[in-house]
Amino acid sequence: MPRRLDIPIPSAAPVQLHFAAVVKLQRGHPCPLHTHEALELVYYVEGTGTSQVDTLRHPVQRGVFTLIPAGVLHDQTNPTAVTTICLGLIGSGLERHTGAWKDPDGLLRRACERLVHELSDRRPGFRRVADGLTLEIVGLTERAVAAANPAGPDKDKIVDKALELIEECEGQLSVSDLADELYVSRDYLRHLFRSQGKESPIRRIIHARIEKAKGLLVEPTLSIKEVAERSGCETVYYFSRLFKKETGQTPTAFRARAQS
C-alpha cells in the first residue's frame, strides 16, 4: 500500500504585483532620484553602475538586485548600458532588507524573467501563473538575503574579524573593501555593528586613520601632505578638516604640542 507523506505548508500573506517593467538605459543616461508607491525590486540583468537608496550609494552589476521601500528616494548612474527588471511589490515584507544584494545562484533572475515573459505573452491562465511567480520571487529574495547573512554565533565573529582587519590595516580600507573581505553586504555589516551597539564601520575606520596620523605627525621629517596620504586622505584640506573634527586641533597644532 503506498505511503502518503503529508507536509505542512505555511500560508504566505498575499503579495500584490503593483508594476513590472524591463528598463534599458543607454550608457551615460542616468535615472534621476524618484520614489514609488510600492516597494521596488530592481534586478540588474546587464551592465554596471551605482544606485543611491535613501542616503547610501551602492555599486551594482549583473546579478545584483536592490530593494527600495515605498517612498524612499533612489536613483541610478550607469557608465555602461544597463538592463534591469523592475518589480513593484505590495505586502512582501521585504522592507527590512533595504539595500543591494547578490543573487548567488541566478534563481531569482530566472524567476523575474519568467514573470516578465508571462505578463508579456498573456497566455490563458497567465494571471494565476504571475501570482505564483510573484510569491516565488519574494521567497527567492528572502533566500538570497539569508545567504548573505550568516546566522547565530557567526555574527559575532564577523564583527570581531572586521575590527581586527581595520586595526591591522590602520584604517586603510573602505567599508566596501571590508564587506567584500568578509563576504557580506555593506548594509548587513552596518546592521551587525548597530545590533552589537558598536560604532559604525566607517567611524571605526576613521578612528583608525586618525590614530595612524597621530603617530606619523610626531615624525618631523614628514610633511602634512605625506601624513595625509599615508593616513588614507586624498587631500591635505580634507585631512586637516577631519583631523580637527576628530581631535579638536589641527594637524599642525597637534605636531607642535607633541614636539614641545
Considering the domain boundaries, does residue 209 fall inside one? yes
SS3 state at 248: coil
Query: How many other C-beta atoms can be found within 10 angstroms of the C-beta atom of residue 14?
Result: 11
Same-domain check for residues 165 and 50: no
Identity of residue 196 = Q
- pLDDT band, very low/low/confident/very high, at 260 (cuts 50, 70, 90): confident
Considering the domain boundaries, does residue 3 fall inside one? no
Domain finish residue from 99, 131, 148: 148
Q: What is the mean pLDDT of the segment spanning 204-224?
A: 93
What is the C-alpha separation between 115 and 108, in angstroms, rounded? 11
Cell of 206: 576613521
Q: What's the pLDDT score for residue 182?
A: 82
Q: Which residue has the higher pLDDT, 27 or 5?
A: 27
Domain finish residue from 118, 148, 178: 148
For 62, the domain range is 16-148
Same-domain check for residues 167 and 84: no
Same-domain check for residues 136 and 189: no
What is the C-alpha separation between 230 and 208, in angstroms, rounded? 12
Taking 70 as the threshold, does the pLDDT of residue 9 lie above it?
no
Considering the domain boundaries, does residue 1 fall inside one? no
- What is the value of pTM for the model shown? 0.60
List pLDDT tens digits, range 46-91: 999 999 888 778 889 999 999 999 999 999 999 999 999 999 999 9
Most confident of 84-93, 149-158, 182-191: 84-93
Q: Which residue has the higher pLDDT, 13 or 38?
A: 38
Phi-psi region of 216 (alpha: psi -120 to 50; beta: other; left: phi over 0): alpha
Task: Put the strands of the sheet holding 56-61 in their side by side order.
Answer: 31-34, 74-76, 48-53, 56-61
Cell of 60: 551594482
- Sign of the CA dihedral with 209 first, then 210, 212, and 216 last: positive
List pLDDT tens digits, range 13-24: 589 999 999 999
Taking 70 as the threshold, does the pLDDT of residue 1 lie above it?
no
Q: What is the mean pLDDT of the segment spanning 163-186?
A: 87
Taking 80 as the threshold, does the pLDDT of residue 184 lie above it?
no
Same-domain check for residues 164 and 240: yes
Q: Which residue has the higher pLDDT, 9 or 258?
A: 258
Q: What's the pLDDT score for residue 158?
A: 85
Considering the domain boundaries, does residue 37 fall inside one? yes
Q: What's the pLDDT score for residue 181?
A: 84
Taking 60 as the threshold, does the pLDDT of residue 8 lie above it?
no
Same-domain check for residues 82 and 166: no
Q: Which residue has the higher pLDDT, 45 or 11?
A: 45
Domain finish residue from 148, 181, 212: 148
Q: What's the pLDDT score for residue 149?
A: 60
Same-domain check for residues 60 and 179: no
Lowest-confidence segment of 143-152, 189-198, 199-208 by average pLDDT: 143-152
Q: What's the pLDDT score for residue 59?
A: 86
Q: What's the pLDDT score for residue 73?
A: 92
Taking 60 as the threshold, does the pLDDT of residue 29 lie above it?
yes
The CATH number that applies at residue 118 is 2.60.120.10
Same-domain check for residues 58 and 177: no
Q: What does DSSP assign to residue 190? A: H
Same-domain check for residues 116 and 25: yes
DSSP 75-123: EEB-SS-EEEEEEEEES--GGGG-EEEE-SSSHHHHHHHHHHHHHHH--
Considering the domain boundaries, does residue 106 fall inside one? yes
Relative to beta strand 31-34, strand 39-46 is: unpaired
Same-domain check for residues 114 and 200: no
Mean pLDDT of the chain: 88
- Say if residues 16 and 91 touch (Cβ distance below 8 Å): yes
CA distances 128 to 10, 98, 122, Å, are: 19, 28, 11
Task: Say how many domains are in the chain.
Answer: 2
Q: What does DSSP assign to residue 222? A: S
Considering the domain boundaries, does residue 8 fall inside one? no
Taking 90 as the threshold, does the pLDDT of residue 259 lie above it?
no
What is the C-alpha separation between 189 and 95, in angstroms, rounded? 17
Considering the domain boundaries, does residue 11 fall inside one? no
Q: What is the mean pLDDT of the segment spanning 15-37?
A: 92
Considering the domain boundaries, does residue 245 fall inside one? yes
- Sign of the CA dihedral with 170 first, then 171, 177, and 182 last: positive
Which residue in 13, 27, 154 sits closest to 83, CA to CA? Answer: 27
What is the C-alpha separation between 124 and 102, in angstroms, rounded? 33
